[in-house]
Structure 1
Amino acid sequence: MQDFLFVAHIIPLFQHALVFLGLAYLFTKTPVFTALVNNSLTLPDKVIIYLVFSGFCMLGTSLSEFSVQSEDAIANTRAIGAVLGGLLGGPVVGFFVGLTGGIHRIWSMTGVSAPISYIDLACGVATTYEGLFAGFVHHYLSRKGKIESLFSPRFIWLMAFTIGLGHVLIFLLFGWSADDAELAWRIQQEIALPMLLANSAGVALIMYMIREQKRTCDELSSNAIALNIANKTASITLPRFSEESAQRFSEIIHQETRVAAVAITNRVRLLAFTGEGASHHRPGTTISSKDTLKSIEKNSVVFVDGIKKIYQCQIDPNCKLGSALVIPLRDEAHNEVLGTIKLYEVKHRLFRNINKTLGESVAQLLSNRILTGRYERQRELRLEDQYKLLTTQVNPHFLYNALTTISHITRKQPERARDLLHHLSDFFRKNLESSADTTTLREELEHVVSYLEIEKARFENRLEVVMNVPENLREQCMPVFTLQPIVENAIKHGVSELIGVGIVKVCAKKDGGDLILSIEDNAGLYVEGDHNGIGLKIDERIKMRYGPDYGITILCEMDQWTRVTIRLPLQKD
């Protein structure tokens, strides 16, 4: 008989628990759930929690199964509402949810003129106790910084089961005080175990479902905030740590994460501080926080929760900040710490889990941004070094040959010698005075012409130059010293080896969105794999500036011609 009653009660009770599970899922879609996730419940939010879970209590009473021992006793899931109200809303909310559920239990099971039985009173008091006890569990875990335990199914099942045992004990005490202990015992033998199992499982399932919804909400919120931070900081370049760029970064992080304060440091100094405490946390001062120094030294995250470990400002003992998350900014390639980013909360305010996850994401973003800035700066310096190298790698033989040629011409053709000296001075002035790393095609051609005029005087009638560069392309922007070194190679390693007339052609044309320059000689002496140092540097410089689709290609028809083609993007200076 007892086994039959157990099955007869537990199946409907589990069905009722599933109804509550569905209702709780709808609750997770409300704005109150968002506030619950953020641990920022306001008074209106707590009122809504009270109303929702008081409704659960009333519904649990209404969907009850009568005991065969007494018409005043029912197997019910009312405790699910009371316990959830306390776990989610705290002691005050839990008390009023339980009290409301208890009053409804007494009122709904008692006639207008009928006296209130000890069974009704015991159930009302026990329901109030359940909500209050669960509320104190919430309060205790919050004070200990273990709020995540509220969403552990195993812990909550055990807690709900323990609270249910208290309900049974209260019922038996009321029966004993009313000299009806035997009936109270028989009632509990019939309905206690089904209620304990169903209510505990119902609370655990609902809290598990809330935890999963909370996790999803945290992830979506974290991703959205991280994306906003990335978008808003996209224009901030960080080639090195500077107070100005770090301050802009910290202000954006503070605005998006809504923590009390944000700080950014390098390995020695505070670079930026935004939020609560900015009056005494001054950028430029030496790092004084032991937690920050520990994070840098150990290359690890340091979390001071303000509960187990108290955060104490080293600058101002009256500082309102009570907890801190210190995350190192890492250079993974060199396994070194560049600095830290720190998120703060004020005293008596819990540090949101979303901000712990988000803080690490932001630290990774900031680290990548700093490293990218460093690599960009290194790239710029490398380009500058290559440019300087090109400007100093003038063939000394060219200078010797030019001066020798001019000296021979001076006696017979003084005007021609004067022109050549002008060309030589223009050539060297271009080499020595140019400070920019880009120029126009027109200026580059002028540099080439100065060089070729000197070479034509040296080779006399054995060198011909053909220029085919449209006027509308001559204002196109290009890297300096791109043409002249290649023209020099065409003469030095090409036409100078010919017995007959050597021809050098310099041409330009437009190909879609690209500028095509070609330097061709009629020697055809290029041997594949015989790379020239300057040519390689020019090709690398072009690729570093414009990408792998641009640069130099070389074609050769042996003993016929060699053609060097330079592809650049069309762009005006």
Structure 2
Amino acid sequence: MSTGLQIVLMVTTVSVGIAIIGYLGFKISRSTREMGTDAEQATFQALHHMSVAVPHLSRGMSQEGAAKSAKALRRLLACQVLVISDATAVLASESSIGFNDHLREICTQTSAAALADRKTQVHRSPGLDAVSAPIMVGQTAVGTVTAVSAKAGASFVRAVSEVAVFISTQVSLAELDKSKAQLLEAQVRALRAQISPHFIYNSLNAIASFINTDPARARELVIEFADFTRYSFRRRGDFTTLAEELEAIDRYLLLEKARFGERIRVSLQIAPEVLPTQIPFLSLQPLVENAVRHGLEARPDGGLISITATEEGPHAVIRVEDDGVGMDPAELSEVLAGTTENLHVGLRNVDIRLRQLYGQEHGLLIDTAPGAGTMITLRIPKFRAPTSVNR
């Protein structure tokens, strides 16, 4: 989700809140000219009802969320009946006067009109007026909010419309979060796909080479291979600890050493206090694989891979460095911009995931030049736990 879109949605939410508070203030001003205490109380009550509704509406258009938010929204509007519907059925209703078949029919008809026209509709009948406003996600009406009052004046109609905008904002945020989660999942699948053909084929060849000459080593490598692939293809959330990712990297490097022997040397310097840090799943392993494949594999004498992790204030700072062939900075910019295909896909995917999860300032920092090796730095907030996506 882009920062600009987040700001637009937040501004919309604040604007709706101000409009609703203004409506309540207008009602109070009709009864008294002494606005101080009453206005403050109306403001507090409006904000309270909105804050009660937000956590439930942020889950999207669900029956459970609608049911838990309906009472707060009815009190916010000070109406007799409030109904939240999706495009096909009533999700929740809240009433202080009962909800008989006659009321249900009025609400259903008004809701259907609002859904079809994507505009607020008013149904007037003796003793009760119904106002229905569409809940919009983009240009699509995904549901309605319908309020019934003894008399629906202009201010009440406006207030119902603003509540619908408020709900629309929360539902839109939920849809954006869902899209973001789906994108992150697709990126992890891409990283797994990168591991599958290249690494698995080479590892199995390396294991096969030891079956006759060193059966004990072959058995050990089979176990390491099984443990690594089990970790890489697990279906248990989007986050892991730094300690778990380093264990997987250790297995990966053992298998690569079976191919390259002493051509690959490894140095680890890990501060114990950062080992429990939650990091995105498969965020380090692709960087180490990149160092092996694109940094050291092309060198006849191999090279050194250094992995360091330290604590710097509220961040865990992790570096993966190799003394391999390096990269042209212009080529690196194209990789991170996505203008090259099937090259260093791991770098780009990890960079995108970090920026989406923690903000633009937390992307990969890469220092490289031809013949000068590559150093990649990650800064992971230690005390921030982004929402995990269940797979």
- Relative distance call for 1:500 and 1:231 in structure 2 (3 A) is same
- Larger C-alpha radius of gyration, 1 or 2? 1
* Contact 1:329-1:363 at 8 Å conserved across structures: yes
Per the alignment, residue 303 of structure 1 pairs with 122
Moved more, 216-225 or 478-487: 216-225
How far apart are the structure 2 equivalents of 1:437 and 1:262? 38
Aligned partner (choices 86, 106, 111) of residue 292 of structure 1: 111
How far apart are the structure 2 equivalents of 1:422 and 1:248? 50
1:225 shift after superposition: 5.5
- Relative distance call for 1:363 and 1:566 in structure 2 (3 A) is same
Per the alignment, residue 324 of structure 1 pairs with 130
1:263 aligns with 2:256: no
Aligned partner (choices 217, 220, 229) of residue 416 of structure 1: 217
- Relative distance call for 1:384 and 1:237 in structure 2 (3 A) is farther
Per the alignment, residue 396 of structure 1 pairs with 197
SS in structure 2 of the partner of residue 291 of structure 1 = helix
How far apart are the structure 2 equivalents of 1:280 and 1:35? 31
* Contact 1:522-1:562 at 8 Å conserved across structures: yes
- Aligned residue type for 1:502: G
- Aligned residue type for 2:134: P
- Relative distance call for 1:217 and 1:351 in structure 2 (3 A) is farther
Q: Share of identical aligned residues, percent?
A: 23
1:503 shift after superposition: 0.7
SS in structure 2 of the partner of residue 252 of structure 1 = helix
- Relative distance call for 1:454 and 1:277 in structure 2 (3 A) is same
* Contact 1:495-1:502 at 8 Å conserved across structures: yes
1:568 aligns with 2:374: no
Per the alignment, residue 227 of structure 1 pairs with 47
After superposition, give the CA deviation of every residue in 1:141-168 in whole Å (9 maximum; x if it has no partner).
Answer: xxxxxxxxxxxxxxxxxxxxxxxxxxxx
- Aligned residue type for 1:507: T
- Relative distance call for 1:558 and 1:238 in structure 2 (3 A) is same
- Relative distance call for 1:287 and 1:544 in structure 2 (3 A) is farther
Per the alignment, residue 30 of structure 2 pairs with 37
1:517 aligns with 2:318: yes
- Relative distance call for 1:362 and 1:459 in structure 2 (3 A) is same
Residue ranges of structure 1 left out of the alignment (5+ in a row): 1-32, 39-44, 46-209, 312-320
SS in structure 2 of the partner of residue 408 of structure 1 = helix
Per the alignment, residue 500 of structure 1 pairs with 301
Counterpart mapping for 1:37-76 below 5 A: 37=30
1:382 shift after superposition: 2.1
1:489 shift after superposition: 0.8
After superposition, give the CA deviation of every residue in 1:496-526 in whole Å (9 maximum; x if it has no partner).
Answer: 1112241111111111111111111101421
SS in structure 2 of the partner of residue 465 of structure 1 = strand
After superposition, give the CA deviation of every residue in 1:540-571 in whole Å (9 maximum; x if it has no partner).
Answer: 11222222221211101431221011121113
* Contact 1:514-1:570 at 8 Å conserved across structures: yes
Per the alignment, residue 186 of structure 2 pairs with 385
Moved more, 243-252 or 378-387: 378-387
* Contact 2:136-2:168 at 8 Å conserved across structures: yes
- Relative distance call for 1:282 and 1:516 in structure 2 (3 A) is farther
Moved more, 447-456 or 352-361: 352-361
How far apart are the structure 1 equivalents of 2:218 and 2:102? 68
1:286 shift after superposition: 9.0
- Relative distance call for 1:358 and 1:504 in structure 2 (3 A) is same
Aligned partner (choices 322, 331, 356) of residue 544 of structure 1: 356
1:481 shift after superposition: 0.8
Per the alignment, residue 339 of structure 1 pairs with 143
Per the alignment, residue 27 of structure 1 pairs with none
- Aligned residue type for 1:357: R
Per the alignment, residue 149 of structure 1 pairs with none
* Contact 2:291-2:305 at 8 Å conserved across structures: yes
How far apart are the structure 2 equivalents of 1:543 and 1:422? 35
TM-score, normalized by length of structure 2? 0.80
Aligned partner (choices 354, 361, 365) of residue 166 of structure 2: 365
Aligned partner (choices 454, 470, 481) of residue 282 of structure 2: 481
- Aligned residue type for 1:322: L
* Contact 1:392-1:431 at 8 Å conserved across structures: no
1:354 shift after superposition: 3.5
- Structure with the larger RCO, 1 or 2 (CA within 8 Å, 6+ apart): 2
Per the alignment, residue 251 of structure 1 pairs with 71
1:553 aligns with 2:365: yes
1:423 shift after superposition: 1.3
* Contact 1:225-1:257 at 8 Å conserved across structures: no
How far apart are the structure 1 equivalents of 2:48 and 2:379? 38
More strand as a share of residues = 2
- Relative distance call for 1:240 and 1:562 in structure 2 (3 A) is same
After superposition, give the CA deviation of every residue in 1:235-268 in whole Å (9 maximum; x if it has no partner).
Answer: 2244332222112222002223222211111122
